[in-house]
Chains A and B, each alone.
Chain A
């Protein structure tokens, strides 16, 4: 599927109306409605996360003992959890954890993945062999088993969750960047850069990596949702973010214990996770169409 070019004849003829690459991407992205919806939800989530203390109707860790397991009321819109905390407020604060882990861990993974992939692809030979076996190993590991092990060894905390997830999900980026570098390094502009005296480091990070960024951004935006699910699963199993911090996963874990008596505790966090992951996936789909038309699913 080849996307029609978005520069019209009129624009091309009129030098004052030249569109930048960024504007062109935005224009293509805009055409995919679900992507815009996802972007809207993410903007809303970021606002919720930043302004939690002003938006949340109650402090997230405040315990109202008489209201243990109470259903929705005018004061507590989503009801109270098993020890009487306001579910809505905890949900709002939980968006912070989801975004910090989703974006933080993905940033770490992208950094490692680009470095490893570019090094393997550029130097080839033994370096490539060793790094590629490392990537194979990570790809063959059932991710959650590795995460649970690492997190039980290093102890559950927000910082550890971000680091541990970041350290384990970079293999896909490394594989992608390696393949891009293999095809890019034969191009004339690399030869030109070398002829004008650029060193390996400069060639890799100034000339090769920027050219491989498109697909990396697409994969990363599609992976953030997966990372958020991983965090919630870790917290759900008690090895993610430590209590009493409100994370959607720990809220579900509380809900699970009281599923017979207070099933309402487990409903809202699950919906929050689904909507968040869905929105990141939709933005990812939109970005894929806008940045890399060849990679259509």
Chain B
């Protein structure tokens, strides 16, 4: 178990290192001179520009710059933004990360608490109207772009009915639309997945035997079927975290949610590449940590993995 954990941690570190290197190289390819962006329209002599470059270490070869950046990163120092000077990137990112995590945890709770029961029920009542209805709904839910649902929700609930604010996170009412919109795709994918996994387990011999010996359907479903169906569901859900964070970027932009996604998008459009790098690394760390936690949960639930 311990060797497994260490192995997973090392793999995770390699991934984070590779992502940092890749983003750094891509940033080097970005057109535009950061120093020019920094001084803006102000008139400066070429000598001053050169001095600024020297001061920020922009004349060093890229691997020296990378080394400075990565060693600062390892100490938790993300540097300062050239575009928005004065605010340390760590502070910017810290507040935004809190908002993004809050949004995602809420939408995780909403989507799992609806999708799991729906998926199991659809499997148990296979070929019923409930099954067809819920699967039609989830097939649509996977296909619809979440930002479009967001726009339509704003039109209906904010513009027409003026029940809910169209953006911002100032009160609990601002949470409702972003959380629901972010949940839809996951809910749909999870319901389909749960139905499939449950049907798979229902065809197993031990389920057939339990049913034959007269075990109450309730006990059979909850204790034998669902518990075993959860294994593949947890694995796939863990690996979907990267997709979920992708969804956050668009949804946060649509609802002007002050999280990592919007910070990322605003930094991209204002060519604030230091912030972009910082957010990318942070998102990757979140993905890697959650993937490792998923593997551990899996080992915890499935005794067969624990023994190995």
Contacts and interface: CB of A to CB of B under 8 A. Distances in A.
B196 A255 contact: no
Nearest to B147: A236
A48 B19 CA distance: 41
B253 A137 contact: no
A148 B265 contact: yes
Interface string B180-223: 00000000000011011000000100000000000000000000
Interface string B273-286: 00010011001100
A1 B254 CA distance: 43
Contacts of B193: 297
Interface in A136-158: 136-137, 139-146, 148-150, 152-155
A34 B145 CA distance: 20
Contacts of A273: 144-145, 148
Interface in B143-180: 143-145, 147-148, 151-152, 154-155, 159
Contact of A142 (B147, B196, B283): B283
B7 to A, nearest CB: 13
Contact of A145 (B18, B264, B271): B264
B283 A145 contact: yes
B242 A141 contact: yes
B254 A136 contact: no
A150 to B, nearest CB: 6
Interface stretch (B22-30, B51-59, B83-91, B298-306): B22-30
Contacts of B18: 133-134, 137
Given A153-B26, A252-B151, A144 B144 contact: no
B243 A225 contact: no
Interface string B114-154: 00000000000000000000000001101111011001101
Interface residues of A, number: 48
A140 B285 CA distance: 9
Contacts of B78: none
A145 B265 CA distance: 9
A238 B271 CA distance: 14
A239 B196 contact: no
A233 B144 contact: no
A153 B142 CA distance: 30
Interface of B is mostly: helix
Interface stretch (A16-24, A192-200, A276-284): A276-284
B269 to A, nearest CB: 7
Q: Which of A140, A256, A266 has the most CB of B within 10 A?
A: A140
Interface in B65-123: none
Contacts of A144: 246-247, 249-250
A236 B250 contact: yes
A274 B139 CA distance: 10
Nearest to A270: B148
Contacts of A233: 145, 147, 250
A259 interface: yes
Given A259-B155, A274-B144, A297-B196, A140 B264 contact: no
A126 interface: no
Interface residues of B, number: 53
Given A140-B288, A256-B254, A278 B143 contact: yes
Interface of A is mostly: helix
Contacts of B225: none
B249 A145 contact: yes
A237 B203 CA distance: 46
A231 B140 CA distance: 19
Contact of A281 (B142, B250, B254): B142
A270 B145 contact: yes
Interface string A209-235: 000000000000000010001001100
B262 to A, nearest CB: 11
Given A142-B242, A236-B147, A281-B142, A153 B29 contact: yes
Contacts of B249: 142, 144-145, 148
B268 interface: yes
A38 B139 CA distance: 12
A263 interface: yes
B150 to A, nearest CB: 9
A173 B144 CA distance: 24
A263 B152 CA distance: 8
Nearest to A233: B250
Contact of A266 (B143, B152, B195, B203): B152
Given A34-B139, A141-B284, A252-B148, 18 more contacts: A137-B14, A137-B15, A140-B19, A140-B284, A141-B242, A142-B280, A143-B243, A145-B264, A145-B279, A149-B268, A152-B269, A152-B271, A153-B26, A153-B27, A225-B142, A236-B145, A266-B152, A281-B143
6 contacts: A142-B242, A145-B249, A145-B280, A149-B280, A152-B268, A274-B140
Interface of A: 1, 34, 133-134, 136-137, 139-146, 148-150, 152-155, 225, 229, 232-233, 236-239, 252, 255-256, 259-260, 263, 266-267, 269-270, 273-275, 277-278, 281-282, 296-297
Interface of B: 11, 14-15, 18-19, 22-23, 26-27, 29-31, 139-140, 142-145, 147-148, 151-152, 154-155, 159, 192-193, 195-196, 203, 239, 242-243, 245-247, 249-250, 253-254, 264-265, 268-269, 271, 276, 279-280, 283-284, 287-288, 291
Top 4 A-B residue pairs of the complex, sorted by shortest distance between their CB atoms:
A270-B148, A144-B246, A297-B196, A278-B143
